[in-house]
Amino acid sequence: FCTGKLGSRLILVLGHTKCGAIYGATKTFMDASNASQRKAGSALEGLLQGLGSVAEQAAQEVGPGASSDDVAAHAVQVNVFHTINFLLKYSHSIRESVRSGQVQIEGGIYQLETGSVEFLGASPRQGELLSSSLPVPPSMIAPDDARGVHGVRTAADERMPSDVALKMLKDGNERFAAGAQTASSTSGDMLKALAKYNQAPHSAILGCADSRVPVDTVFDAMPGELFVLRNAGNTCTHAEGSMLGSLEFCT
């Protein structure tokens, strides 16, 4: 709103030293490294756990043996760039304004001890993130909009063109990589729709059986969206084999 309607041409993401949220997130992250993880018991714990990736990156950059205070101090800067990157990745209007040179996003850290602001400049990842295609944060995307008329994809939905299917795969993987999946749990009505209307997956995927590559999860997909074939090495070596026949059945 500010950059579009009010005409502001500079966004400054401003952190500050001794930030309680960052220090709390760092302590939560470092404690979790030495104990089994548990679900957040309050909104505050959820906030601190949500900043865990910032604390983790700061710990990696500072190096082993660093104290919690040292990690937290660096995490303040990491979080500033993390926020800038989020704006560039998930706001189409801001991203386009930055790409065209109309808007500039800079980072800064306010020093509580001196009252001075340390200006950090633009995100080192700005050039890379300007190629993002996500229009809004994944948490704002209504999952059912593209999932089908019954909340899951069935034969009651129209066949999906290959370019649209490819975009769904790319967007789903981008959400997965960002830790912001939108695929929800399957309801009773969804299961009934899948049984009643049959399947109509938009894509077939021939993947490896490796347990570290869960295909549906990697693409943030719901039941009915993907026709998945997996074996060791993602191979298809025999013309009479089940892989080739299964792909022919799917397409």
Per the DSSP assignment, residues forming a β-bridge with 208 are 231
pLDDT by residue (tens digit) across 152-165? 888 888 888 898 88
User: Alpha-carbon distance 227 to 155, whole Å?
Assistant: 13
At 251 the pLDDT is 74
Which residue has 């070596």 as its token pair?
Answer: 237
CA distance 204 to 243: 11
pLDDT digit string (tens) for 158-202? 888 898 889 889 888 888 887 778 887 788 888 898 899 988 889
pLDDT band at 139 (very low <50, low <70, confident <90, very high): low
Q: What is the DSSP string of 49-69?
A: HHTHHHHHHHHHHH-TT--HH
Angstrom CA distances, 185 to 89, 114, 137, 176, stand at 26, 50, 20, 15
Is there a contact between 90 and 136 (Cβ–Cβ < 8 Å)? yes
pLDDT band at 43 (very low <50, low <70, confident <90, very high): low
H or E stretch covering 46: helix 43-50
Q: CA–CA distance from 160 to each of 127, 131, 229 (Å)? A: 32, 25, 20
